[in-house]
Structure formats: structure tokens, C-alpha cells
Structure 1
Amino acid sequence: MRDRIDFTPYRRSAIGFDRLFDVLEGAARANGTVTDNYPPFDIERQGEDAYRITLAVAGFKQDEIELTAQQNLLVVTAKKADAEEGRNFVHRGIALRAFERRFELADYVQVRGASLADGLLTIDLVREIPEAMKPRKVAIGGTQPALEIVAEEKAAA
């Protein structure tokens, strides 16, 4: 049985999908390892281009949680500030261990906001495609070269 999927043939014919193949290869590598499922989370679609991530972070205060949004990556980290000295637990079922949870974001997905209520951290995301990247119709010209058409469009704008 093969341990690794080789995406090389696809990389040659799929231009601009390098990031997608990197994510797939990373998932294939992690498939055989133990993954940490703490804290549990939900991802829901709020609309065509809106999403919400909800993490169960019971026991953590707002100032103990940090969100970092980078290009195509959202990192949620938390660390308990104090050790709760002087308390004598008979049973400790609420996990208060430090964690780091990473979410791969698609292109043009941005974090709109976050809130913490009732032990749930809610992160709202929206996908905003720039006007220059949206599909547009291209007119088929007659004898005029394509470079001249682009120059004329810029001059008209």
C-alpha cells in the first residue's frame, strides 16, 4: 500500500493550483497520524459567501484567546492565564489545556469578526472576490490586436 499520493502529473497540467496540492499532500501525510480534536468546532455556511466557525472553549476568558488571520490561514490559540491555585478537584472534566487550532482559508476569505459567549467562540468569515478577479465577458474583436483593446479600455475608464 502506498503511503503518499504523488500529485506531480497534476501539478504539470494545473496552473495556479499549487496551494491546493500542498493542502492535499499535507492532509495525506496527516491521515496516518493521530490528530488532536481539541477543542471541538463547527463550520457552517451562513450564505453564499459567508461562513461561521464555532469553537467550544469552555473555561477560557476573552483575554486568554488569540486569533491571528494571515493570508489563507486562521490560527486560534489559547492558554490559561492562572493555574487556579487553592482549588481541590474531585473530578476535572473541563479541559483547560492550551491549544492551537489552524484553519486553511480559501483565497479572498477574510475574518469579519469574533465573539465569545457561553463558552463558545464564534468567528465570522466572508469571501470577497475583488472586482478585477470576477468573471467578465471578453468581446471578440475583428482585426484589432488584443493589446490595443486593453489600452483603449484603460483610456475609457
Structure 2
Amino acid sequence: MFDFTPLYRSSVGFDRLFQLLDEAAATENQTYPPYNIERVGDNEYRITMAVAGFGPADVSIEAKGNTLTVTGKKAEKGTAGEMLHQGIAARGFERRFQMADHVEVKGADMDNGLLHISLKRELPEALKPRQIAINGVAPKLKAIDGEKAA
């Protein structure tokens, strides 16, 4: 764990970066549930989480600001018999992902114990590159060897 206090005193506007670093260090040791993050296209991403034993009703996905939170809570069920070994994890979880600006959640699917969350970066028109016309006086044409200038 790093102390960013000296940097706060000598920098302006980097507080979000320091907060992200603090959160990354805090969640570094979290291993459940396992997940993948993949780039599907130039501006498209997919998070895949292994949520075996959880159904769509047991998992909630919330996008708030630049934070995506996936929470899983299993309803308590009594078993008919005595559990001798429980190797399948049924504990609840909460996993947070920090998203870049202009990244939006497009949808989520659950298939064979895997939760797929589709993300897409969509830049607003105001941030996309555009050509700027140059206003000025039209160039004057020079007469060449006896021709009249236009």
C-alpha cells in the first residue's frame, strides 16, 4: 500500500488517478469469482465472470459513474441431507471494475455458468476529430505568357 499524501500536496487534478490506484491495490488480493477482460473490437470489450451456481436472479449489475459493480447473492436453501463436502462455492461476492470515460454497458448474458458483460466506448460527437475549414481570401491567379488573368 502506498501513501499518496505527498503527491496530493504538490499536484492538482490527479486525485481521481490516486483514487484508482488505491482501489486497485485494495482489490488486488480478491480472487473470487475469477474473470476475464477481453477486447472484442476497436471500441468494444467484454468481461466474462465464472459464476457457477448463480442464476440471473442471483446476480445484479450496476453501472454508476465510471464504476461497474457486479454483485452475487445466493438465496439460502436448506438441503434434504447432510452436507459432507461443499466444494462448490456458494458465497456471495461483489466485484468492482473501473471504466474509462465514455464506456457504457451494452448488455449482459449468462450461459453455462459464465456471465458475459458487453461494454462499448462511444465518444460524443464533440470529442471526435473533425476538419476545420480555413477562411481567407481566394488566391489570385497570375497571368502566364500573354494570357489574361481571371
Give the TM-score range, shorter chain.
Answer: 0.7 to 0.9
Q: From 8, 15, 18, give the equivalent of 1:21.
A: 18
Could you tell me which runs of 5 or more consecutive residues in structure 2 were left unpaired when the two chains were aligned.
137-150
Change in 2 beyond 3 A, CA 1:141/1:44 = same
What is the number of equivalent residue pairs in this alignment? 135
Matched, 1:51 2:45: yes
Query: How far does the alpha carbon of each residue in 1:30-89 deviate from its partner, in whole angstroms, 9 at most, with x for none?
Result: 28xx73211010000101110000000000111111111111011111111132432333
Q: TM-score, normalised by structure 1?
A: 0.74
Q: For residue 125 of structure 2, what is the aligned residue in structure 1?
A: 131
Query: How far does the alpha carbon of each residue in 1:83-127 deviate from its partner, in whole angstroms, 9 at most, with x for none?
Result: 243233322111010111111111000001101110000000000
Q: For residue 155 of structure 1, what is the aligned residue in structure 2?
A: none
Is the partner of 1:7 in helix, strand or coil?
Answer: helix
Shift of 1:3: 3.9
Q: For residue 117 of structure 1, what is the aligned residue in structure 2?
A: 111
Change in 2 beyond 3 A, CA 1:22/1:141 = farther
Is the partner of 2:33 in helix, strand or coil?
Answer: coil
Query: Whole-Å Cα distance in 2 between the matches of residues 74 and 84 of structure 1?
Result: 32
Matched, 1:87 2:64: no
Q: For residue 11 of structure 2, what is the aligned residue in structure 1?
A: 11
Calculate the aligned-residue CA RMSD, in Å.
2.5
Matched, 1:38 2:69: no
Q: For residue 146 of structure 2, what is the aligned residue in structure 1?
A: none
Name the aligned partner's letter for residue 50 of structure 1. E
Task: Mark the structure with the bigger radius of gyration.
Answer: 2
Is the partner of 1:107 in helix, strand or coil?
Answer: coil
Change in 2 beyond 3 A, CA 1:18/1:114 = same
Could you tell me which runs of 5 or more consecutive residues in structure 1 were left unpaired when the two chains were aligned.
143-157
Normalized per residue, which structure has more helix?
Answer: 1
Q: Give yes or no for contact 2:8–2:15 (8 Å, CA) kept in 1.
A: no
Q: TM-score, normalised by structure 2?
A: 0.77
Name the aligned partner's letter for residue 7 of structure 1. L
Query: Whole-Å Cα distance in 1 between the matches of residues 58 and 2 of structure 2?
Result: 39
Query: Whole-Å Cα distance in 2 between the matches of residues 127 and 138 of structure 1?
Result: 25
Shift of 1:9: 6.7
